[in-house]
Amino acid sequence: MSLQCGIVGLPNVGKSTLFNCLSNAKAQSANFPFCTIEPNVGVITVPDERLNKLAELCQPERVVPTTVEIVDIAGLVKGASKGEGLGNKFLANIRETDAILHVLRCFDDDNVVHVDGSVNPIRDKEIIDAELQLKDLETIENRLAKVQKQAQTGGDKQAKLAYEVFSKYKTALSQGKSARTVTFDTKDEQAIARDLFLLTAKPVMYVCNVDEASAVNGNRYVEQVREAVKDEAAEVLVVAAKIESEIAELETYDERQMFLEEVGLKESGVARLIKSAYQLLNLKTFFTAGSDEVRAWTFVNGYKAPQCAGIIHTDFEKGFIRAEVIKYDDFVHYGSENAVKEAGKMGIEGKEYLVQDGDIMHFRFNV
């Protein structure tokens, strides 16, 4: 399941430094705008302590974690919606992603040039918001022009419904609000909204890039960001990209943990960011566990058993009979699949079963 988070932000806020920490792919990181010309894609392993525990119990031949794709996109500048800088390329690249990681510079450093001359994360946020909103407004106005006549003069109910959805978006975007602030009550309206693929409708997480001294508790810039986005239902994550780059250079787990303890962190910012990005995409994990392989599988929250079976192989979904389900806590408590069965803790589920995060699944099928 290939879902992507795009890292966006103004030039020189720490996007590529952060991307380098997340991935083995090395984006050029330099102190001038547009050092990242093409989007760099990294396939990132999602940290999951449950997978390690299952591997410890099953002693399999191989362990396969789940992943999420992170895309580092060239820095945006004011006027991007009109083609300034790398505007059109930026907007095309971000449209292809499923969620946005918006990096904001929340540190002072005279040695790192800011594209607008001073550190102000709220201004930076508003610049990118405005450019994305302007592009969405252009999309909406084009769509409105196509359906307006049908909606107002004809008996086309679908055109009328589309016109209402587009108009609601136009009102919000014209007021400087993002599309994600607009809600729809009916499934038909929601379907029309989804098909627009608006940039500002994508889920967003604000990543505050801070200095080392602010890595644990943040700083005044972070508080400004939290206040500015409090009505957006968006997560704010504090990361010190410079510290993360130093952690990434350490070779052993013990060295990394010791470094984290020294700066007062329980978990690296990179690990927290990957987990948060996974949640931002509304993703969950189920497992398959045996002596040959323990594997984590990504599914969209709300999937039923046959859909999850199809993630492993399309034949599993086509010929789905039932799913044998063990809860993670039960597997850990009893220590093996056989012990779980003997305790009567294995569930037999049909086509309507909603798969839960952490379920250990075995699918029965026939094709």
Q: What's the pLDDT at 254?
A: 83
User: Phi and psi dihedrals of 236, rounded to 5?
Assistant: -120, 125
Nearest-angstrom CA–CA distance, 214 and 122: 18
Nearest-angstrom CA–CA distance, 267 and 130: 34
Beta strand spans in 106-146 (E): none
Can you give the pLDDT of all 367 residues of the chain as single tens digits? 667 888 888 888 888 888 888 765 444 444 444 344 455 788 888 888 999 999 999 999 999 998 888 888 766 656 544 555 445 566 777 888 889 999 999 998 877 666 666 889 999 999 888 888 988 998 999 998 888 877 777 667 888 888 899 999 999 999 998 898 888 889 999 999 988 889 899 999 999 999 988 988 889 999 999 999 887 768 899 999 888 888 878 777 788 888 888 888 888 888 888 888 888 888 999 999 999 999 999 999 999 999 999 999 999 999 999 999 999 999 999 999 999 999 999 999 999 999 999 999 999 999 8
Q: What's the pLDDT at 84?
A: 52
**Residue in the structure block whose two tokens are 């020294």:** 262
Write the CB contacts of 327 (distance below 8 Å, at least 6 apart in sequence): 345, 347, 356, 358, 359, 360
CB 293 within 8 A of CB 64: yes
Q: What is the model's pTM?
A: 0.80
Q: What's the pLDDT at 38?
A: 54
Write the CB contacts of 212 (distance below 8 Å, at least 6 apart in sequence): 240, 242, 243, 263
What does DSSP assign to residue 213?
G
Nearest-angstrom CA–CA distance, 344 and 14: 52
Helix (H) / strand (E) containing 324: strand 320-326
